[in-house]
Structure 1
Amino acid sequence: MNDVPEDKSIELSTDYQNHSINMNFSDNLTEDSEVGYILSAAFFSFCAAQGLSKDEVSDMVSQYYDEFIENNGE
C-alpha cells in the first residue's frame, strides 16, 4: 500500500502589462487549503533563503498586506 500522496504543483508567471502574477495549478490541486499551504511554504522558504529574520517577515506582512488586499480587488 502506498500512503505517499501524489505530487501537486503551482506555476507562477508575471504579467507586467496588467501588473499581475498568474497562477496555474496542476489538475489534482483542487483544495484551497493545499493551495494555501504550498504558497505559504514557498514564501517562508524564500524568505529564509534570503536570510530574512522573523521580525523582517512580520514587518513586511504588516506593511503590505492591507495594500495587497485593496489592490487585489481591482
Structure 2
Amino acid sequence: MNDIPEDKSIELSTDYQNHSINMTFSDNLTDDSERGYILSAAFFSYCAAQGLSKEEVSDMVSTYYDEFLNNEE
C-alpha cells in the first residue's frame, strides 16, 4: 500500500510589463486551501532561511498587505 501523497507543484514567474507575478499550479493541485498552505509554507520557510524574526515578518505583512489588496482592485 502506497501512503505517500502525489507530488504537486507551483511555478512562479514574473511579468514586469504588467507588474505581476504569475502562478501556475500542477493539474493535481486544485484545492485552494492546499494551494494556500503550500504558498504560505514556502514564504515562511524563505523568511526563516533569510534570518528574519517573527516580528520582522509580522511588520512586513502589516505594512504591505493593504498595499497588495489595493493593487488587486
Percent identity of the aligned residues? Answer: 85
TM-score by length of 1: 0.96
Question: Which residue in 2 is equivalent to 1:7?
Answer: 7
Secondary structure at the aligned position of 2:56 is classed as: helix
**Runs of 4 or more above 3 Å deviation:** none
TM-score by length of 2: 0.97
* Structure 2 Cα separation of the partners of residues 24 and 16 of structure 1: 17
* Structure 1 Cα separation of the partners of residues 19 and 64 of structure 2: 16
Q: CA deviation at 1:31?
A: 0.1
Q: CA deviation at 1:3?
A: 1.2
- Please tell me the residue identity of whatever aligns with 1:56: E
* Structure 2 Cα separation of the partners of residues 5 and 44 of structure 1: 22
Unaligned runs of 5+ in 1: none
Cα deviation per residue 1:18-66 (whole Å; 9 max; x = unaligned)? 0000000000000001100010000000000100000000000000001
The total of aligned residue pairs comes to 73
Residue 40 (1) aligns with residue 37 (2): no
Question: Which residue in 1 is equivalent to 2:21?
Answer: 21
